[in-house]
Amino acid sequence: MPTYERLKGFRDFYPPEMAARREVVDTVEDAARRYGFREIATPRLERAELWTDKSGDDIVDELYAFEDHGGRHVTLAPELTPTVARMYAAKSQELSKPVKWVSTRPFWRYEAVQQGRFREFYQTNIDVFGSSEPEADAEVLATAADALTDLGLTTDDFEFRVSHRDILGSLLRSFDADVDVIAAIRAVDKSEKVDENEYLDLLADAGLGYDEAREFDDLLGVTDPANLDELTDFAASDGLADAVENLRAVLAAADDYGVGDYCDLSLRTARGLDYYTGAVFECFDATGEVSRSVFGGGRYDDLIEEFGGQPTPAVGVAPGYAPLTLLLERADVLPEAAVSTDYYVLQVGDTREVAARVARDLRARGHVVETDVSDRSFGAQMGYADSVNAETVVIVGEQDLADGNVTLKEMSSGDQTTAPVDAFPGEFDRPTYDDFA
Amino acid sequence: MPTYERLKGFRDFYPPEMAARREVVDTVEDAARRYGFREIATPRLERAELWTDKSGDDIVDELYAFEDHGGRHVTLAPELTPTVARMYAAKSQELSKPVKWVSTRPFWRYEAVQQGRFREFYQTNIDVFGSSEPEADAEVLATAADALTDLGLTTDDFEFRVSHRDILGSLLRSFDADVDVIAAIRAVDKSEKVDENEYLDLLADAGLGYDEAREFDDLLGVTDPANLDELTDFAASDGLADAVENLRAVLAAADDYGVGDYCDLSLRTARGLDYYTGAVFECFDATGEVSRSVFGGGRYDDLIEEFGGQPTPAVGVAPGYAPLTLLLERADVLPEAAVSTDYYVLQVGDTREVAARVARDLRARGHVVETDVSDRSFGAQMGYADSVNAETVVIVGEQDLADGNVTLKEMSSGDQTTAPVDAFPGEFDRPTYDDFA
C-alpha cells in the first residue's frame, strides 16, 4: 500500500483551520465588495512569456514553468498583475472606467519555505485601473485598512508605511543623473535588512558617492509630511515637487477617507518590485513582533502599457494570507479554528422518515443540520454531535414519537425539553430549548 | 508592444459573468453547508504518482505534468479524489466519522476543447467518508438535488439516473466468471454514444457471447425498482441480491430525504470511471436538450485504501460548472450577468470630505458604495453610476451642502429628493428616495 506525500511548501487545509481561514478571506473580500471592487477569476496557468519577457531573474528562477502537450511554454502564475494587464488590454475599450477588480486565488513560486512563506500561497488582489488621481491610491489604502479593522485589528496593531517612488527617483537623480535608480531603490528596500555599511555599499554600487549616500539616506528620514519641504529645498526639480505634492495629496485623501491614522510617512519603505511608479506602501505589525512586511501595494502606471494595453494608470494592494495570519495570531484576533453546527438530528430506532423531515425543514431555514448517515447508536451519535459543535440536538426517538414529541437538548447546558413533532420547527426560524422549556 | 494571449481552454471571467458564476457556486456550496459538509482547501499541484500509479491512460495522457526545480515529478491535479484520499489517510485516526468535506476549485486536463469542456474547469466536490450505509448515498443525492432546486431547477428540468456497479458486475459474472467486468461496464457507459452493433462488439470484446450481450442489455432495461426481482430471478447470487437490496435501500432513503422524485432507476448509467463500487448516478437534462451528462457521482469504497489509508467507504458527487451552466441556460434560470451597486456617491465641486463620510457610513451598513476616484464631471460620474447599475445616487454638491442637504436620485425612476446631510444615512439602514420624498 503506497502512501503519498504532499509537496513541500504546499498545504492541506482541514475543516477547523479552513473555517478560520474562510472567515478571514470573506472579511477581506467583503471590505473590497463594499468599496465596489468587482470579482474576477483568472487562469492559474499562463504563457511563461508573461514573466520571462519582463520580470527580474528573481521571479523567473522561481517559476513553476514547463512545456504543455501542445509545445507551449507555460507557467503557474507567480502573481496576478500580468494576467489582469492582459485582461484589461483585451477589453479596455468596452470597460467602464475606473475598473475596480478583486480576486482571491493561489500563486506559486519555487522558493525557500519558511514561517509564513509557502510555495503555494493565497492572495486577494485589489486593483483600480484608469485613475491617476490620489483618491484612487487612498481608496486602496482605505479598503485595506477597513479589511484589517473588520478583522479586529486596531491602530495599535498595524501601520501603513507610505513612500513614493518618484520622490526616491527624483532625489537620486538630483545627485547624479546617471545613478541607477532601480538599483538604488532596491538598496533602500534592503536598508532595514542589512547593516549600514552594506547599505551604503549598495547605494555606491548604484552610482552614489558615500557622502551622497549618507545625505540621501538622511533626507529619507523625514516622518512629518509638513517637513517634505526639506526635500524640495534640497533639490529643486519639477519631478520632485510634483511627487511630493502627489504624496501629500494621497495622505490628505486617506485622511478624508477616514484612514489617515493608519498611514505613516516612511520614505525608506521602497517596495522591492521594479514596476511601481508612484505612492507605495507596506503594512507592518505596529508592535514589531511580526518583523516582516505583512503585505504591500502601490501605484504602477506603466505596466498595462508594457503588457500591450493603452497607457493606463493603476494602483493596487494584495494581502497575502500566510503573513496576515501571523499578524492576526500576534494580535489574538485570528478566528477560532472550529466547525459549527446548528442542529444535529439524532435518530433512535426506526425514525428516519421523521428525522429526515425535521432536518429538511431546518435546512430550509438556512441552518447547518446533520443527521445520522451511519446507522449508529445513541451514544455514538451524541459523540459525533459534540465533535461538530452542535448547538442543539433534536432527538427523534420511537417512544417520544409515540407521544407526538421530539426532544431538544441544548448542548452548552445539557438541558433538555420536549417539543411537539408536528410543530417542529413549525413557526420558528431557529427553534431552541428556550422556545419549548 | 507585445500582446499576450490566454491559453486555449482557459478562461478569463470578467465581473458581469463572474457575478452570475459566483451566485451559482455560492448556491451549490450553501446547499452542502446546510447538510454539514465542511470546507477544505487542497494543493493545486501534487506528486504525479498519485495518478500515474493507478489511473487509466485516459487521465495520464491528459495530465499537465512536469518536473519541478527539485526534480520531483509533479502535476496539476485533474480531479480531487486522490488528494482527499491522501488527506484522509494522513489524519484518519483523529477525524470524527463520518467525514463530510466540500471544496470548490479548478482542475486541469489537456483534452480537446468543446462546448462546456475546458482545460481548466471548476468543480465543487462533495464527499462522505466512513459510512457504507445507504443514507450516505442518499444524503449526497439530496445535497445535489437541493443545490439544483435552489438554483431554480425543477423536476421537469433534471433527473438523476441511478445505477449500481455491483449489480452490473454480478450480472456480468453470472454469464461468465471470466468476463472483463471493467471493460464491459465501460461498454455500458458508451452504449448511448455508439450504435447497437458497436455496443455489442464492445461487450463481446469483454468476454460475453452476442446472445449473452443482448440478454444482459435487456436486463438493464428495468426502470421500476419493484422489477429488480427479474434480475435476481435470472441470476441467483448473493452478490447480486445484496446489490439489488442496497440500490433499493438507497432509493428508499432518497425518498425519505425528500428527493425521490428526482431519482430514476437507470442501470445503463454506468459512469466511465473505474473506481466506483456501489450506487452510481448521473444528472441529466430532463428535456434532453443538453445531451451530455451534467455531472455524476457515486460510491467508491476501495479508493482510500488504494491510496494508503485504512479501508474506508466513501460516496460523493462533483458538480462541474461548465456543464451545469449549460443546463441553467437551457432552463432559463442562469443568474443575470451583471454587477450591482447599492449607492454611488457623486461629488460636485470640492465636497470630497463629506462625500467620503457619507460613503463610509453607508459601507458600514454593509452596502456596496462607490464614489469618484477620478476627478470627473457630473455627467461622467452619472454615466459610471449607471454602468455599475447603481440603485441610488447620492449627489453631494457644494450648493446643496450650503443648505445642509444632499440629493438622492433613484436611478430606476429618475426621481430625486433632498435629505438633510447631517441625518444621512443617520438612523436608516438602507435609505432610499422613498424615505425622504
In angstroms, the CA B283 to CA B263 distance is: 9
pLDDT at A4 over 90: no
pLDDT at B110 over 80: yes
Taking residues B266-279, what's their average pLDDT? 84
Closest Cα in chain A, distance from residue B196 (Å)? 34
Residue from B4, B103, B146 whose CB has the most chain A CBs within 10 Å, to mutate: B4
Taking residues A363-383, what's their average pLDDT? 97
pLDDT for position B113: 93
Highest mean pLDDT among A143-147, B231-235, B265-269: A143-147
Task: Provide the residue type at B22 as one letter.
Answer: R
Taking residues A207-231, what's their average pLDDT? 93
Q: pLDDT of A293-316, one tens digit each?
A: 999 999 999 988 888 888 999 999
A115 annotated ligand binder: no
DSSP structural state of residue A396: E
pLDDT for position A189: 85
pLDDT for position B272: 66
Which residue from A45, A368, A384 is facing B10, i.e. has the nearest CB?
A45
DSSP states of B323-382: HHHHHHHHTT-PPP----EEEEEEEESS-HHHHHHHHHHHHHTT--EEE-SS---HHHHH
Q: Which residues in chain A have their CB less than 8 angstroms from residue B8's CB?
A: 70
Contact with chain B for residue A18, Cβ under 8 A = yes
Residues with Cβ within 8 Å of B337's Cβ and at least 6 positions away in sequence, in order, are B16, B17, B19, B20
Q: Which residues in chain A have their CB less than 8 angstroms from residue B373's CB?
A: 98, 128, 131, 133, 135-136, 138-139
pLDDT for position A272: 66
Q: How far is CA A343 from the centre of its chain?
A: 32
Pairing of strands B295-299, B279-285: antiparallel
Burial (CB count within 10 angstroms: exposed 0-12, middle 13-18, buried 19+), residue A96:
middle
Contact check, Cβ <8 Å, A3/B89: yes
Which residue from B14, B82, B133 is facing A91, i.e. has the nearest CB?
B14
Q: pLDDT of B6-52, one tens digit each?
A: 999 999 999 999 999 999 999 999 999 999 999 999 999 999 999 98
- Angle at the Cα of A243 (from A207 to A149), degrees rounded to 5? 110
Q: pLDDT of B136-175, one tens digit each?
A: 999 999 999 999 999 999 999 999 999 999 999 999 999 8
Task: Provide the residue type at B117 as one letter.
Answer: R
3-class state of residue B45 by DSSP: strand
DSSP structural state of residue B151: T
B79 annotated ligand binder: yes
Residue of A nearest to B136 (CA): A373
Closest Cα in chain B, distance from residue A259 (Å)? 11
pLDDT at B380 over 80: yes
Half-sphere exposure (CA, 13 Å, Cβ side) for B309?
A: 26
B46 annotated ligand binder: no
Q: Which residues in chain A have their CB less than 8 angstroms from residue B302's CB?
A: none
Contact check, Cβ <8 Å, A39/B15: yes
C-alpha cell at B364: 458600514
C-alpha cell at B303: 479508493
pLDDT band at A94 (very low <50, low <70, confident <90, very high): very high
pLDDT band at A3 (very low <50, low <70, confident <90, very high): confident
Task: Provide the residue type at B382 as one letter.
Answer: M
Percent of chain B with pLDDT over 90: 84
Beta bridge mates, B164: B279
Closest Cα in chain A, distance from residue B419 (Å)? 22
- Angle at the Cα of A385 (from A383 to A386), degrees rounded to 5? 65
- Torsion angle in degrees (nearest 10) through CA of B167, B171, B176, B180: -40
> Where do runs of H (alpha helix) occur along B154-280?
165-175, 181-190, 196-205, 210-219, 229-234, 238-256
Closest Cα in chain B, distance from residue A154 (Å)? 16
Task: Provide the residue type at B239 as one letter.
Answer: G
A384 annotated ligand binder: no
Contact check, Cβ <8 Å, A256/B352: yes
Contact check, Cβ <8 Å, B69/A110: yes
Closest Cα in chain A, distance from residue B64 (Å)? 7
Peptide bond into A106 cis (omega under 30): no
Taking residues A225-242, what's their average pLDDT? 91
In angstroms, the CA B59 to CA A231 distance is: 63
pLDDT band at B254 (very low <50, low <70, confident <90, very high): very high
Please, which residues 202-221 of chain A have a Cβ atom closer than 8 Å to chain B?
Answer: none
Give the torsion sign (CA, A181, A186, A188, A191): negative
Contact check, Cβ <8 Å, A15/B40: yes
Q: pLDDT of A246-300, one tens digit each?
A: 999 999 999 999 999 999 999 998 776 678 899 999 999 999 999 889 999 999 9
Taking residues A54-62, what's their average pLDDT? 78
Contact with chain A for residue B322, Cβ under 8 A = no
- CATH 3.30.930.10 range(s) for chain B read 15-42+77-330
pLDDT for position A177: 81
Q: Is the separation of the CB atoms in A200 and A210 below 8 Å?
A: yes
C-alpha cell at B176: 461468465
pLDDT at B2 over 70: no
Beta bridge mates, B41: A13
Please, which residues 387-416 of chain A have a Cβ atom closer than 8 Å to chain B?
Answer: 387-388
Residue from A125, A250, A373 whose CB has the most chain B CBs within 10 Å, to mutate: A373
Contact check, Cβ <8 Å, A366/B34: yes
Give the per-residue SS3 of A281-326.
Answer: EEEEECCCCCCCCCEEEEECCCHHHHCCCCCCCEEEECCEHHHHHH
Which residue from A18, A38, A82 is facing B15, i.e. has the nearest CB?
A38
Q: pLDDT of B383-400, one tens digit each?
A: 999 999 999 999 999 999
Residues with Cβ within 8 Å of B248's Cβ and at least 6 positions away in sequence, in order, are B225, B228
Q: pLDDT of A163-198, one tens digit each?
A: 999 999 999 999 888 899 989 988 988 888 899 999
In angstroms, the CA B282 to CA B160 distance is: 5
CATH number (3.40.50.800, 3.40.640.10, 1.20.120.10, 1.10.357.10) of B341-436 reads: 3.40.50.800
Kindly report the backbone phi and psi dihedral angles of residue B285, in degrees, each rounded to the nearest multiple of 5, phi listed first. Answer: -65, 120
Residues with Cβ within 8 Å of A375's Cβ and at least 6 positions away in sequence, in order, are B133, B135
Residue from B10, B45, B365 whose CB has the most chain A CBs within 10 Å, to mutate: B45
Residue from B257, B368, B373 whose CB has the most chain A CBs within 10 Å, to mutate: B373
Taking residues B64-74, what's their average pLDDT? 95
Contact with chain A for residue B46, Cβ under 8 A = yes
Contact check, Cβ <8 Å, A10/B86: no
Please, which residues 324-363 of chain A have a Cβ atom closer than 8 Å to chain B?
Answer: 339, 341, 352-353, 356-357, 360, 363
Contact check, Cβ <8 Å, B49/A4: yes
pLDDT for position B351: 97
Contact check, Cβ <8 Å, A257/B360: yes
Which residue from B35, B108, B356 is facing A257, i.e. has the nearest CB?
B356
Contact with chain B for residue A10, Cβ under 8 A = yes
What's the whole-number average pLDDT of chain B? 94
Kindly report the backbone phi and psi dihedral angles of residue B367, in degrees, each rounded to the nearest multiple of 5, phi listed first. Answer: -85, 160
Which residue has better confidence, A177 or A204?
A: A204
Q: Which residues in chain B have their CB less than 8 angstroms from residue A49's CB?
A: 2, 4
CATH number (3.30.565.10, 3.10.20.740, 3.30.930.10, 3.40.720.10) of A15-42+77-330 reads: 3.30.930.10
A276 annotated ligand binder: yes
Q: Is the separation of the CB atoms in A111 and A62 below 8 Å?
A: yes
pLDDT at A68 over 60: yes
- Conformational region of residue A51, where left means phi above 0, alpha means psi within -120 to 50, and beta covers everything else: alpha
Taking residues B284-309, what's their average pLDDT? 92
- CATH 3.40.50.800 range(s) for chain B read 341-436
Residues with Cβ within 8 Å of B272's Cβ and at least 6 positions away in sequence, in order, are B186, B189
Taking alpha carbons only, the member of A123, A54, A78 closest to residue A296 is A123
Q: Which residues in chain A have their CB less than 8 angstroms from residue B41's CB?
A: 11-13, 18, 21
Contact with chain A for residue B15, Cβ under 8 A = yes
In angstroms, the CA A12 to CA A207 distance is: 47
pLDDT for position A59: 80
Contact check, Cβ <8 Å, B1/A120: no
DSSP states of A217-273: HHHTT--SGGGGHHHHHHS--HHHHHHHHHHHHHHHHHHHTT-GGGEEE-TT---S-
In angstroms, the CA B400 to CA B413 distance is: 21
ipTM over cut 0.90: yes
Task: Provide the residue type at B101 as one letter.
Answer: W
